Amino acid sequence: MSAQPAAPTPRGLLATLSQSMPMPLLGTLRCEPEEMLALVGPSGAGKTSLLRCLAGLMRPTEGRIEVGTSVWCDTAQSLFVPPQQRQVGLVFQHYALMPHLSAEDNVALALLHLPRPERLRQARHWLEHVHLKPEQQRRRPAELSGGQQQRVAVARALARQPQLLLLDEPFSAVDQLSRLKLYQLLGELRRELRIPIVLVTHDLSEARRLCDQMVVMDQGQMLQQGSPAALHRSPRNARVADLVGIQNRFEATFETDEGEAPDPQGSRWATLVWRSRRGSGAEALRLRVRDKGKIRSGTPVSWVVAGEGLELMPAQAGPNTLACRVLEILPLGEISLCQLEPVALPGEVLQVYVTAVQRAALEAAQAGGSDVPLQLLPGALHVMPTRLG
């Protein structure tokens, strides 16, 4: 090995895994320091197994895990650093606190490398850090609330001064109040620690609200990584679109506009022939969509449109403006969810979130039996292959 100068920029986590037994696990994920990454997917998608590989509790068949400047696992070189020697903090789903030890002793257990008085001093420091009061610090886990137990578990993970912090379903078992406190704590931690933080969750809205990056997993595969906004805007395939909870997903045929010159901005445009899945197939709507040159004309595709790409009652009618019938308006507090059916394509339903003002206009239209215009902004339509993979 050649002597390397100290890396100028801190590096985060880079993990590439591939195995089929005992459970499939495939893909690559990257998480920069100070970044928070959410692993999302249905239960059994392999989220926890992935976390266990990162912590060193499971040895992948093939793979490489790099954190900062150290390599924790490289099966090509038969390298596997056991969990004891990885500077990793793992917060278990049900906390896994030692029931026979007080909160402070639980944290001190992660500091056995220090002399005894120093252990307890640091344990108290970390418990204060997660806002646990001194009298709570002396209690056993059974005498603490779920939220308090979780904070002890976080303190124990932090006491090792980890290079990587992992949290398994941190929000699943805590009540709303503890949840808000936890949001705040995680926000503080990521600023101070400047290490990659990976959390497992099945709550998409939570992942979207808290995390910079999301990895969508299904059946052990890491299907796609990106910012929550990017995943919503342009999911790689129909399965990802479903898993990130995109409601407006439809089938169409992609047709390139042969011979048409690019517009002044240099974009080429194509047409989506959107046919009703339920109707006779005769009705069709033609939508303008950006042509990135990746899909051949005549290919059946899935397409999605995120909320930002839908403009209800636009000031002036542009391309892709559809006359829609108001099917249902569902009040959800400050906003309402409205179901719109294109008049030209009965059976297809677009879901749109609307404000109170828009809701009043929609209710008036519904009562009067009139249609409302809805524009699908051409740049916001995302086209992807229909088949999985």
Partner 1 sequence: MDWTALILSLELAAATLLVLLPVGLVLGRWLANTRFAGKAWIEALVVLPLVLPPTVLGYYLLVSLGGASPVGQWLQAQFGLSLTFNFAGLLVASVVFNIPFMVQPVQRAFEAIPRSLGEAAAVSGLGFWQTLWRVELPLAWPGILSAMVLTFVHTLGEFGVVLMVGGSIPGETRTIAIAIYDEVQGFNLAAADQMSLFLLVVSLLAVAFSFLASARTTQRR
Interface positions with partner 1 (CB under 8 A) = 55-57, 82-84, 86, 88-90, 92, 94, 96-100, 109-110, 112-113, 140, 142, 156-157, 160
Task: List % helix, strand, coil for the chain (3-state, nearest 5).
Answer: 30, 30, 40
Nearer of residues 124 and 288 to partner 1, judged by Cβ:
124
CA 199 to CA 155: how far, in whole Å? 16
Nearer of residues 157 and 338 to partner 1, judged by Cβ:
157
CB of 93 to partner 1, least distance (A): 8
Nearer of residues 168 and 291 to partner 1, judged by Cβ:
168
CA 141 to CA 130: how far, in whole Å? 15
CB of 150 to partner 1, least distance (A): 13
CA 274 to CA 262: how far, in whole Å? 23
* Helices H / strands E in the chain, number of each: 10, 21
CB of 90 to partner 1, least distance (A): 5
Nearer of residues 86 and 208 to partner 1, judged by Cβ:
86
Are 58 and 83 contacting, i.e. CB atoms less than 8 angstroms apart?
Answer: no
CB of 159 to partner 1, least distance (A): 8
Instruction: Provide long-range contacts, Cβ within 8 A and 24+ apart, for 236-241.
Output: 236/384, 237/302, 237/384, 237/385, 237/387, 237/388, 237/389, 238/302, 238/384, 238/385, 238/386, 238/387, 238/388, 239/388, 240/216, 241/302, 241/304, 241/384
Closest C-alpha to 372, from 320, 329, 323: 323
Nearer of residues 121 and 139 to partner 1, judged by Cβ:
139
CB of 145 to partner 1, least distance (A): 16
CB of 107 to partner 1, least distance (A): 9
Nearer of residues 118 and 260 to partner 1, judged by Cβ:
118
3-state secondary structure at position 315: coil
CB of 69 to partner 1, least distance (A): 20
Beta bridge partners of residue 300, listed in sequence order: 253
Q: Is 205 left (phi over 0), alpha (psi -120 to 50) or beta?
A: alpha
Nearer of residues 88 and 354 to partner 1, judged by Cβ:
88
